[in-house]
Chains A and B, each alone.
Chain A
């Protein structure tokens, strides 16, 4: 079955540091890939997405590139802020079939940014 593996956290960084959160996946088809962010006490918000190989999703300074050859979708940000502290989830969705739209999540990575 489909699965998503994220780098284990927690990740602790100083403000303005470079961020990478690794994400790899296994899927039977050609999935869409997502990064969701969950701020404390809140639900998930879609951060960015990519629907096909070599697509780059970007939002709020974060970006991730859909790499089919390495089955990866690593999240990066050049300069993190304290307000980026949250839990980040990588996820995939298979197109078509009975599981259309169903998301498979990674385990989440807690990011803490210190001033």
Chain B
């Protein structure tokens, strides 16, 4: 079955340390992959997207993600966390269903940044 899995519901880091948010997917083809961020009481915003070009994708605010087909993963990273990065992060995969590609969200990972 096609699916998207975010492996951690919460990730806690100290300011200035690296961030790793994990995402795995299950699909019978190479889908389009995205990361979105949702700050408290704000709308969802696109961080970055992979659409079969370079496997290392750079996004806004210093985030990047690497598409690894062999591992069916699309983990989000940032070298140094900032307090303003505290938010909910969603991995999104365009899964084929009923004749259409539907952007399908993972359950989300809450990033907590300690001073």
Q: Do A and B bind each other?
A: no
Interface residues, chain A, CB within 8 Å of chain B? none
Interface residues, chain B, CB within 8 Å of chain A? none
